[in-house]
Structure 1
Amino acid sequence: MQIQPTSLAFTLLLGFLAAVPYSGIDINLPALAATGATLGASPSDVGLTMSAFMLSLAVAPLLYGPISDRIGRKPVVMAGVALFAIASLACAAADSLWMLLICRFVQGVGAASTTMTFAIIRDLFGETIARAKIASVVIAVNVVTVVAPSAGAALLAVGSWRLIYLTQAAAGSVLLLAVLLGFAETAKIGAAGRLRPSAVIADYRRVLTNPAALAFILVGAAGGATVFAYVTGSSLFFIGVVGLRPDQYGLIFSACSAAVMCGAFLDSRLGRRGIAPTTVLTIGLVLLFTVASALLAMTLAHWTPPALLAALLMAVALAFGLSMPNIMNATMQPLPDIAGAVGAAAGSIQMTSGAIASGLVATLFDGHSALSMTAVMAAASLLALLLYLLFARPAVRRLHPAPALTPAQ
């Protein structure tokens, strides 16, 4: 029995699919030390498994996008989720760090197929409804982000790190069954036989030369880099400098994830009230830059009360939740016939920019302040705002010019 696209069940399924890549990172965080102890590696070396997973998340969507435009979203998502489940089993059976690294990379390749979620939304819904659906998916992703680290710690307590991967395999199997039975194909599949390198390159050329799509992809990448900088830097600062316990820091992280959910929920409510997405996005990006700049100013002044810093990071998360549904929605609008390629390019570029931001924060961390985090956040948020004001918003106005006023008769 197929799930109706307008139903809550369909939205939840989209949300759980979109959350697969994030849960694949967060649920394993508590188990790095235990994994290293079993495999004879240090926690920092085991941390390379996260890098392998994220690398595949950045690369694999570039293959999935054009394929899904030609053979459909459903077979691509099903194949990817099946690969995720199988690779999770292989991770659970790994007996060396190198084997785990390889299996984690393959697991990420499978998880990357779920980035087609936004293309599915673009296939099915018009701009206004798509905005609300994307906001709901963002909320679902952040619910999983809040729960995943605690779930990982609980599984580690009752079993071992291998149980975490077995649980991921089980979750992947359930999602595979749900997609098989509940999803209908959503893509408007073009002429057969077009899956040639030249055709794929032509698709990505269209994406990267479309002013609106490229501008919003870059806005999303810069906004995402702001959040990746916070994720990396907040852990270094609150645990390494302030001296909070991991469980205490977890409360801050959960509060920020809840703030993202609140921002996405607020955006969906404003959309129902007829507030234009450009208005909400402008407010979100201005708030993101303002708060990030305040954080940088506080750091430069050597005044960083932990409670105030945590509150401002929640404001950053709220601004991100307000902005991201509108960014993704605007990204997917201009090229509906190759929505898979658009979504793939957006996801890949955002993941790459996030990895660069995280690397900068970790590399520049001085061991006694939040300067590397706040500096990267301020720079990335400024870039996001400028890209939107100078390129993305004018591109939207060219696509949807205001109606000409006629003189009164």
Structure 2
Amino acid sequence: MPRTKTPPHLATLILLPAFSVLSLNMFLPSLANIAADLEADYSTVSLAVAGYLAVTAIVQLLVGPLSDRIGRRPVLLAALTSFFVASVACSLAQDVWSFLIFRMLQGGIISGYALSLAIVRDTTSERKAAGLIGYISMTMAIAPMLGPMLGGVLDTAFGWRANFYFYAIFGLVLLVICWIDLGETKPTKAERSGASPESVRTLMKERLFWAYSLCTTFSTGAFYIFLTGAPLVAASEFGVNTAQLGFCIGTITAGFIAGSFLSGRFAPKHAPATMMLAGRLTACIGLTAGLVVMLAGYLNPVVFFGSTIFVGLGNGLTMPSSNTSAMSVRPSLAGSAAGLTGALVVAGGAILTTITGQLLPEEGAGVILHFLMLAASGAGLASVLWAMRLRAEKPS
């Protein structure tokens, strides 16, 4: 049996969340081919994305508390085993419904994201955890950019099932890595208390936990709003073609990578509230400056996408510290906190993208989209200020 408090190598902590992202978007270029091969409507096959997101929200609500009760290691190994089996089944599916069923079972891989954060918090101090999560986030952000490219190449060369062969092989490799490298890190003092329903309810009653989690949710929400509206703005306002659109959308991810790198450098040296506040102010000031320029009549791609870079930069500064702080409210329930925060982010993203789609007009969407992003970023700033007030009121 692995020794308690045996942290995995950094590479393992990077691979777990990165592969969670790849499992969502790598096969997206194959959706049309899957629909044709399985003789299904595209709208039905697209449930492999929407339904999968819903499943990941539910999974995070379950695996976080479960890992606090029985440990990080067994939950992760079970999730990776389930992912491997489901990937093999997807690659062999002969009808759309069996494909979708096993695709939903792949959602267990999201455990790799939630529990990697909990493992970092288990094994390091709050400030060091924020710095390490910053570096993990920086490298993890590359996965959404490379995933669809790799998936498209595999589909073109070998067909859509090759994506799921890749999932199965890499999932098995990751399972072996975790079996060898991942020792149990759940705090010993949590052995008896675990994650009983009562203890989880106690966490959910903590206003400070909600302040940190809402900061993460609204910060990520600004990014989801951007992804929803940027293609419309690029086409209707600027006449940007699809090749240029990919580059423009990638700028916000570049900002996030830069912000995460800065978190890795500075979060261990500064209080989490300082990093969160700096990130929220960066996002709000950048968006406000862009709005002022656009309202003055200078609406162009450089101004629009240049100001949204600050959302990515601000998120990179904020989220490692806000995630770490949410898990630090009750360290013995770090898994529950990571899972609840992850589920809240998914639910918040679904709500905000729906609102964005309803509110954006066909023309003049650029300014409206900026207002929506600023509102979400401002809500994140309000959450940080709320957290700072709660910390100040808390007896030392």
Q: Note whether the superposition's TM-score is higher than 0.5.
A: yes
Contact 1:263 1:318 in 2 (8 A): yes
Aligned CA distance change for structure 1 residues 332 and 171 (closer, same or farther; 3 Å)? same
Could you tell me how far 1:20 is from its partner in structure 2?
Answer: 2.6
Contact 2:20 2:109 in 1 (8 A): no
Identify the match of residue 254 of structure 2 among 243, 251, 258. 258
1:407 alignment counterpart: none
Q: Higher mean Cα deviation, 40-49 or 24-33?
A: 40-49
Asked if 1:318 is matched to 2:317, the reply is no
Aligned CA distance change for structure 1 residues 275 and 69 (closer, same or farther; 3 Å)? closer
1:121-163 deviations in whole A, cap 9, x for unaligned?
Answer: 1111111211111111111210212211211122122122211
Alignment gaps of 5+ in structure 2: none
Secondary structure in structure 1 of the residue aligned to 2:141: helix
Aligned CA distance change for structure 1 residues 203 and 6 (closer, same or farther; 3 Å)? closer
2:282 alignment counterpart: 287
Identify the match of residue 267 of structure 1 among 263, 266, 285. 263
Aligned CA distance change for structure 1 residues 310 and 191 (closer, same or farther; 3 Å)? closer
- Report 1:337-348 matches (<5 A): 337-348=332-343
Secondary structure in structure 2 of the residue aligned to 1:188: coil
Asked if 1:138 is matched to 2:137, the reply is yes
- TM norm structure 2: 0.90
Q: Give the residue type in structure 1 aligned to 2:220.
A: G
Secondary structure in structure 1 of the residue aligned to 2:270: coil
2:118 alignment counterpart: 119
Distance in 2, Cα, partners of 1:165 & 1:106: 13
Could you tell me how far 1:204 is from its partner in structure 2?
Answer: 2.5
Asked if 1:10 is matched to 2:9, the reply is yes
Could you tell me how far 1:231 is from its partner in structure 2?
Answer: 1.9
Contact 1:365 1:371 in 2 (8 A): no
Q: Give the residue type in structure 2 aligned to 1:238.
A: A
Distance in 1, Cα, partners of 2:3 & 2:352: 39
Q: Higher mean Cα deviation, 372-381 or 288-297?
A: 288-297
Asked if 1:228 is matched to 2:227, the reply is no
Asked if 1:351 is matched to 2:346, the reply is yes
Q: Higher mean Cα deviation, 108-117 or 64-73?
A: 108-117
Query: What RMSD, in angstroms, separates the aligned Cα atoms of the two structures?
Result: 2.8
- Report 1:10-409 matches (<5 A): 10-188=9-187, 200-239=196-235, 242-272=238-268, 274-295=269-290, 303-368=298-363, 369-370=365-366, 373-389=369-385, 391-399=386-394, 401=396
Contact 1:48 1:101 in 2 (8 A): yes
1:182-218 deviations in whole A, cap 9, x for unaligned?
Answer: 11110135687878xxx64313211111122121011
Aligned CA distance change for structure 1 residues 239 and 5 (closer, same or farther; 3 Å)? farther
1:365-389 deviations in whole A, cap 9, x for unaligned?
Answer: 3333235533331221111111211
Distance in 1, Cα, partners of 2:222 & 2:394: 28
Distance in 2, Cα, partners of 1:221 & 1:245: 31
Q: Give the residue type in structure 2 aligned to 1:220.
A: T
Alignment gaps of 5+ in structure 1: 402-409
Aligned-pair identity in percent equals 27
Contact 1:357 1:376 in 2 (8 A): no
Could you tell me how far 1:395 is from its partner in structure 2?
Answer: 2.2
Distance in 1, Cα, partners of 2:261 & 2:63: 29
**Count of residues in Structure 1 that have an aligned counterpart in Structure 2:** 395
Distance in 2, Cα, partners of 1:57 & 1:243: 35
Aligned CA distance change for structure 1 residues 288 and 84 (closer, same or farther; 3 Å)? same
- TM norm structure 1: 0.88
Secondary structure in structure 2 of the residue aligned to 1:187: coil
Contact 1:296 1:378 in 2 (8 A): no
Contact 1:39 1:95 in 2 (8 A): yes
Contact 1:241 1:367 in 2 (8 A): no
Contact 1:91 1:103 in 2 (8 A): yes
Distance in 2, Cα, partners of 1:152 & 1:205: 41
Contact 2:121 2:334 in 1 (8 A): yes
Contact 1:360 1:372 in 2 (8 A): no
Distance in 1, Cα, partners of 2:237 & 2:30: 22
Could you tell me how far 1:52 is from its partner in structure 2?
Answer: 0.9
Secondary structure in structure 1 of the residue aligned to 2:186: coil
Aligned CA distance change for structure 1 residues 39 and 298 (closer, same or farther; 3 Å)? farther
Q: Give the residue type in structure 2 aligned to 1:247.
A: A
Q: Higher mean Cα deviation, 286-295 or 329-338?
A: 286-295
Contact 2:60 2:110 in 1 (8 A): no
Could you tell me how far 1:181 is from its partner in structure 2?
Answer: 0.5
Q: Give the residue type in structure 1 aligned to 2:80.
A: V
Aligned CA distance change for structure 1 residues 180 and 264 (closer, same or farther; 3 Å)? same
Could you tell me how far 1:172 is from its partner in structure 2?
Answer: 1.1
Q: Give the residue type in structure 2 aligned to 1:78.
A: L
Aligned CA distance change for structure 1 residues 315 and 125 (closer, same or farther; 3 Å)? same
